[in-house]
Structure 1
Amino acid sequence: MKYMLLVCGDDTADAAGTAPVEPWVEDLGDRRVRLHGHRLALPADAVTVRVRGGEVLRGDGPFAETKEYVAGFDILECDSLEEAVEAAARHPVAAVGAMEVRPFWEDEDAETRIRALDAELTGAARERDLDRMAACYAPDVTAYVDGREYRGIDALRKSLAERFTGPGGPVTREVLDHRVHVDESIAFAHALVRLRAAGTDGAPHHALTRVTTGYRDVGPRWLIAHEHVSLDLLDTEERS
């Protein structure tokens, strides 16, 4: 389970003797307990935004006037709350400030959502539905297909139209191998994909491609932000 670790500094405490944080970061990173994190600027650089009665109210400084402030954050993946607390207690700032450990809101895991997106792309390709296919991509997507670069969703749609419109029946898109690596708001995948379809000339066309995909978490869903498609080899299954 993922936990957010809020590192709360205390501007009245003497932090001169605080141990360096790098050994803590390196140790938890090597064990894949710490997934991500960063220091934050001081409270003097903060801006607090409120909306009241439709008016945007902007105030300089943090939300609460207190001697303690959020100095940074870390995202941990632990088997239990106790393990997360133990990791927090080892953070050097725990000796002079405070560490807030809060579980992430439980939701469907990212890899499941990414695989569901790939299944949607497969279904849209089968129906030759360009709108559904394009909806799987980010507006600023960059794609490389057989050595040609397509920047932006409009350029990619033209490429999809060239490959998936015209006479013929459904397109068969078979993912033979799909390896996904997720790291918070971005993910990468490598796949071997077999495509079978009738081309614009009515003749059957078969291709085995290697696809490298970069995904971005845009909030309610993941989208494809980068795609590299290359012809791998002749479909030996079709030749035999």
Structure 2
Amino acid sequence: MKYMLLVCGDDTADDSGMTPVEPWVEDLGDRNVRLHGHRLARPADAVTVRVRGGEVLRSDGPFAETKEYVAGYDILECDTLEEAVEAAARHPVATIGAMEVRPFWPMDDEEEGEPEIRALDAELTDAARERDVDRIVACYAPDVEAFHFTTGLEAHGIDAFRKAMEGVFASVTGPVIREVLEFRVRVDESIAFGHALVRLRGTLAGGEPLDDVLRVTTGYRNAGLRWQIVHEHVSVAAVNGEEGS
């Protein structure tokens, strides 16, 4: 189960004797307990936003004036609450401030993201068969970074990616059959990573057959209510012990 660990500092506390946090981060990261986290700027840099009667009210500073404040956060994945509490107790800030351990709201399997990502991959298969560049591009984020073996170049951003896809389809005639031979995906709250073997079949513009097995590594980002591809690296999979590129 995932837990949010809120690291609460105290303006009146003396942190001169506090041990460094890096060993804690490294240890929990090595054990796959700490998934990610970050420090936050000081409360003086916060902006509090309220809407009253349709008017946006903005005030500089934190929601509540207090000597204690949230200095950072960590996302933990633990089997039990007791394990999360033990990890929180080992955090250096626990000796001068406080650590709030809060479970994530429980989600069922349909909310975890994997079904949506597999549906996104199926959309790529359908769009390739229809040679629909617009549908393919819609699966990618505006700031996508992609490398494709056919061009040998990296595409930085959605415009460059669209141009690369148009070049790919210009090199083939008729439908492109995309067959997913293997697909593994690991989903976190807002990011996911996929590893796939994909077979592409079709006919090149010169009449020669296209039949390649590709290794595809994909990074996904949760863009609000849908997932998009933000990183993609495609290479020719190993054939007879040799890896293509």
When normalised by structure 1's length, the TM-score is 0.81
Instruction: Determine if contact 1:47/1:59 at 8 Å carries over to the other structure.
Output: yes
Q: Provide the residue aligned with 1:238 in structure 2.
A: none
- Kindly indicate whether residue 63 of structure 2 is the aligned counterpart of residue 63 of structure 1: yes
Q: Provide the residue aligned with 1:34 in structure 2.
A: 34
Instruction: Determine if contact 1:189/1:212 at 8 Å carries over to the other structure.
Output: yes
Task: Give the 3-state SS of the residue equivalent to 2:13 in structure 1.
Answer: coil
Q: How does 1:106-145 map to 2 (within 5 A)?
A: 106-107=106-107, 108-145=111-148
Q: Identify if the C-alpha distance between structure 1 residues 31 and 167 changes in structure 2 by more than 3 Å, giving closer, same or farther.
A: closer
Q: How does 1:77-156 map to 2 (within 5 A)?
A: 77-107=77-107, 108-145=111-148, 146=150, 147-156=152-161
Task: Give the 3-state SS of the residue equivalent to 1:171 in structure 2.
Answer: strand
- Kindly indicate whether residue 191 of structure 2 is the aligned counterpart of residue 189 of structure 1: no
Instruction: Determine if contact 1:211/1:228 at 8 Å carries over to the other structure.
Output: yes
Aligned residues: 234
Task: Give the 3-state SS of the residue equivalent to 1:75 in structure 2.
Answer: strand
Quote the Cα distance in structure 1 between the aligned partners of 2:238 and 2:28: 42
Task: Give the 3-state SS of the residue equivalent to 1:175 in structure 2.
Answer: strand
Q: Provide the residue aligned with 1:217 in structure 2.
A: 222
Quote the Cα distance in structure 2 between the aligned partners of 1:152 and 1:14: 47
The alpha carbon displacement at 1:9 in A equals 1.4
Instruction: Determine if contact 1:143/1:151 at 8 Å carries over to the other structure.
Output: yes
Q: Provide the residue aligned with 2:162 in structure 1.
A: 157
Which amino acid in 1 is paired with 2:77?
E
Q: Provide the residue aligned with 1:50 in structure 2.
A: 50
For structure 1, which segment, 101-110 or 76-85, has the greater mean C-alpha deviation from structure 2 after superposition? Answer: 101-110
Q: Identify if the C-alpha distance between structure 1 residues 79 and 144 changes in structure 2 by more than 3 Å, giving closer, same or farther.
A: same
Q: Which runs of 5+ in 2 are unaligned?
A: 241-245
When normalised by structure 2's length, the TM-score is 0.80
Q: Identify if the C-alpha distance between structure 1 residues 21 and 155 changes in structure 2 by more than 3 Å, giving closer, same or farther.
A: closer
The alpha carbon displacement at 1:102 in A equals 1.6
Identical residues among aligned pairs (%): 73
Q: Identify if the C-alpha distance between structure 1 residues 205 and 26 changes in structure 2 by more than 3 Å, giving closer, same or farther.
A: closer
Which amino acid in 2 is paired with 1:128?
R
Deviations 1:42-95 (A, max 9, x none): 222222222333333222211111221101111101112222122112222223
Q: Identify if the C-alpha distance between structure 1 residues 71 and 130 changes in structure 2 by more than 3 Å, giving closer, same or farther.
A: same
Instruction: Determine if contact 1:207/1:233 at 8 Å carries over to the other structure.
Output: no
Instruction: Determine if contact 1:207/1:234 at 8 Å carries over to the other structure.
Output: no
Q: Which runs of 5+ in 1 are unaligned?
A: 236-240
- Kindly indicate whether residue 243 of structure 2 is the aligned counterpart of residue 230 of structure 1: no
RMSD of the TM alignment (CA)? 2.9
Quote the Cα distance in structure 1 between the aligned partners of 2:86 and 2:233: 42
Q: Provide the residue aligned with 2:2 in structure 1.
A: 2
